[in-house]
A and B are shown apart, each in its own frame.
Chain A
Amino acid sequence: MVKKVRSHISQNEQLLFEMSSPGKKGYQLPDLDVPVVDPAAALGGQAVRKEIEGFPEVSEVEVIRHFTRLSTWNYAIDLGMYPLGSCTMKYNPRVNEQVARTEGLAWAHPYQPESLAQGMMEVIAALEGALAEITGMDAVTLQPAAGAHGEMTGILLIRAALEKQGNPRKKVLCPDSAHGTNPATAQMVGYDVVNIKSNDLGMVDVAELVKAVDGDTAALMVTNPNTVGVFEEHIVQVAEVLHSKGAMIYMDGANMNALVGVARPGDFGVDVMHLNLHKTFSTPHGGGGPGAGAVAMKAHLEPFAPTPRLKFENGLYGWDYNRPDTIGRVRAFYGNFGVLVRALAYIMAHGGPGLRNATMDAILNANYIRKGLEAFFDLPYQSPCMHEVVFSDDRQTKKGVKTGDIAKRLIDYGFHPYTVSFPLIVHGALMIEPTETESKAEIDLFIDAMQSIAREIDEDPQMVLKAPYTTRTSRVDETTAARKPIVRWKPSPAAS
């Protein structure tokens, strides 16, 4: 028997506009102590908006209940496993939240004088130092606010360094397994994108790479382990191929959760990389908080790093704006500081051996799932997997069931879906990343659920094609939503 975890909340909810009734309000203001004026007369007619009439009128308790009920439609890491591959949805320890709420850190102001911000600057220095050690790089900037922002910063550094040498070059290479943000980044920084095919093991094909790298090549953007969850075994050789032609290697750190404490990109030839602190270092992810895409670089790129740079002189921290080769600011002030505090708390709570253990557990968990499901789902790449495992829906499509259908059925078992249809080089991909924070018990429930769905597809594929059954809404018309989007509520003719 399959142990179902829990079903989802299915209570329906109207829009606030639909709940409105004239004259209700959720606020009380004191009587005016100045004469009443007519806004249209005081500001001119064009300053008064007519269409704001019909704004919802509701009481305080109605607003509170409305938004609380909406919040129950959500699924979160605090409700259960979130095996969304490539996203590293690990648990966010509550102690990090407490540290980030420390009065002196939470209420600091970016315009506070440096002499009164020494503690904050020490946090930044400590985090920069820890991330440099973890990645094997020489310098770190904490300004970028997200992963793709970090990518752009890294490729701008490469471009600035090449320009300084006299030629920014023309193209950036991306493996066909790359995250879509990689080619997008290269294009935004003014490079042509060249796709590199993967080999049968899911790795960069070194022979293809050698053919593609020439004097016009600025960099290769590579994710390691890559998006099929496979470690690029020839990464040292890959780096040598690029360096021998004066090109650089950028590493997308999205999958760094497989390497922390085990292998250092700086040691295997990477020139510059980003880290998603909201993935690898357990800060809240997505709607839970802003991201942070720290960029770690080798010494030869450091002169180009965004300003201001942190400096330490005469026993005091300060900001250094005098950096003639800098690419300039990439973010207001010093990055998403509250996120940085949480990441440092996570690193310090674990220490080196603890971080290494987390990595080993993440890899163990992914391999445990691989073993539990390989008899049920097709495994397109046989190479050993790291922190995530990618299956394909090949067997299930023969019954007319695709990866997206399996994901929707998984919702009925109380789990968030895995990543669907990515990476694109795997036809009908199911990309599963449990992270180290799931217990064996929770992972066993997940494996049970996936095995059960595989059996359901054999016995009754039509039932799976209509899933989910336990949610407030089931299948939505994604095609019409994309072709004819309605993005603003309008009163129905009957109601107005």
Chain B
Amino acid sequence: MYPETFRYTKEHEWVLVEGDTGTVGITDHAQKELGDIVYVDLPKLGVTLAKGATFGSVESVKAVSDIYAPISGEVLETNSLLAAAPEKLNEDPHGAAWLVKIKLSDPSEIEQLMTVAEYQTYIGA
């Protein structure tokens, strides 16, 4: 369920690092807790994100929740699929419904994030 290659945050984001690029999303646990997602608010291209700062929000029928940057860097790409089809975040949170791709400014930050085993313990999975 939770990919080994991802790293995870306590706020239920994941990041996949490939080279100096990080792909960021929210976890399956997060989408389940949020319920049916109806809107996703993402940052503009070129914005610089600081690790731990909010960079967007996810709106479900229950609540609007902030999304926090798991890692610092510049936004290279946002997932245009989500504007028309926010429900993808419920269906494929670890795949097609990634949120942003970031050019990492400090790849060593990744070490501060949870491994898959640590995250599964954290959520009691």
CB within 8 Å of B: which residues of A? 180, 193, 421, 424, 478-479, 482-483
CB distance from A475 to the nearest CB of B (A): 12
Contact of B38 among A180, A193, A482 (CB under 8 A): A482
SS class, residues of chain B in contact with chain A: loop
Assess whether B38 is in contact with A479, with CB atoms less than 8 Å apart: yes
Say yes or no for B36: interface residue by CB 8 A criterion: yes
- Docked pose: A478 CA to B39 CA in angstroms: 13
Chain A residues with Cβ below 8 Å from B54 are: 193
CB distance from A187 to the nearest CB of B (A): 10
Contact of A483 among B63, B64, B86 (CB under 8 A): B86
Chain B residues with Cβ below 8 Å from A424 are: 63
Which one of B38, B39, B54 has the greatest number of beta carbons of chain A within 10 Å? B38
Assess whether A483 is in contact with B62, with CB atoms less than 8 Å apart: no
Contact of B87 among A180, A193, A483 (CB under 8 A): A483
Chain B residues with Cβ below 8 Å from A193 are: 54
3 closest A-B pairs (Cβ-Cβ)? A482-B38, A479-B36, A478-B61
Chain A residues with Cβ below 8 Å from B38 are: 479, 482-483
Assess A421 versus B63: contact at CB under 8 Å? Given A483-B86, A483-B87.
yes
Identify 16 new A-B residue pairs, CB closer than 8 A, beyond the known A424-B63, A479-B38, A482-B61.
A180-B64, A193-B54, A421-B62, A421-B63, A478-B36, A478-B61, A479-B36, A479-B61, A482-B36, A482-B38, A482-B39, A482-B59, A483-B36, A483-B38, A483-B86, A483-B87
Chain B residue nearest to A427 (CB atoms) is B33
Chain B residues with Cβ below 8 Å from A483 are: 36, 38, 86-87
Chain B residues with Cβ below 8 Å from A421 are: 62-63
Which one of B39, B54, B59, B87 has the greatest number of beta carbons of chain A within 10 Å? B54
Chain A residues with Cβ below 8 Å from B63 are: 421, 424
Query: How many residues does chain B have at the interface if contact means C-beta atoms less than 8 Å apart?
Result: 11
- Docked pose: A483 CA to B83 CA in angstroms: 10
CB distance from A406 to the nearest CB of B (A): 15
- Docked pose: A193 CA to B87 CA in angstroms: 29
Residues of B30-46 whose CB lies within 8 A of A: 36, 38-39
Chain A residues with Cβ below 8 Å from B87 are: 483
Chain A residues with Cβ below 8 Å from B64 are: 180
- Docked pose: A357 CA to B16 CA in angstroms: 59
17 cross-chain CB contacts under 8 A? A193-B54, A421-B62, A421-B63, A424-B63, A478-B36, A478-B61, A479-B36, A479-B38, A479-B61, A482-B36, A482-B38, A482-B39, A482-B59, A482-B61, A483-B36, A483-B38, A483-B87
CB distance from B91 to the nearest CB of A (A): 13
Which one of A193, A421, A424, A482 has the greatest number of beta carbons of chain B within 10 Å? A482
- Docked pose: A483 CA to B59 CA in angstroms: 10
- Docked pose: A479 CA to B85 CA in angstroms: 12
User: Interface code B86-108, partner A: CB below 8 Å = 1, 0 otherwise?
Assistant: 11000000000000000000000
Chain A residue nearest to B39 (CB atoms) is A482
Chain A residue nearest to B68 (CB atoms) is A195
Chain B residue nearest to A484 (CB atoms) is B38
CB distance from B51 to the nearest CB of A (A): 14
Which one of B54, B59, B61, B64 has the greatest number of beta carbons of chain A within 10 Å? B61
CB distance from A294 to the nearest CB of B (A): 28
User: Interface code B51-79, partner A: CB below 8 Å = 1, 0 otherwise?
Assistant: 00010000101111000000000000000
CB distance from B60 to the nearest CB of A (A): 9
Chain B residues with Cβ below 8 Å from A180 are: 64
- Docked pose: A333 CA to B36 CA in angstroms: 44
CB distance from A240 to the nearest CB of B (A): 27
Chain B residue nearest to A192 (CB atoms) is B53
Chain A residue nearest to B86 (CB atoms) is A483
- Docked pose: A483 CA to B54 CA in angstroms: 24
- Docked pose: A289 CA to B59 CA in angstroms: 29
CB distance from B117 to the nearest CB of A (A): 24
- Docked pose: A424 CA to B36 CA in angstroms: 17
CB distance from B13 to the nearest CB of A (A): 15
CB distance from A126 to the nearest CB of B (A): 40
- Docked pose: A180 CA to B63 CA in angstroms: 10
CB distance from A446 to the nearest CB of B (A): 24
User: Interface code B108-124, partner A: CB below 8 Å = 1, 0 otherwise?
Assistant: 00000000000000000
Chain B residue nearest to A485 (CB atoms) is B38
CB distance from A405 to the nearest CB of B (A): 13
- Docked pose: A483 CA to B35 CA in angstroms: 13
- Docked pose: A478 CA to B35 CA in angstroms: 11
Chain A residues with Cβ below 8 Å from B86 are: 483
CB distance from B69 to the nearest CB of A (A): 14
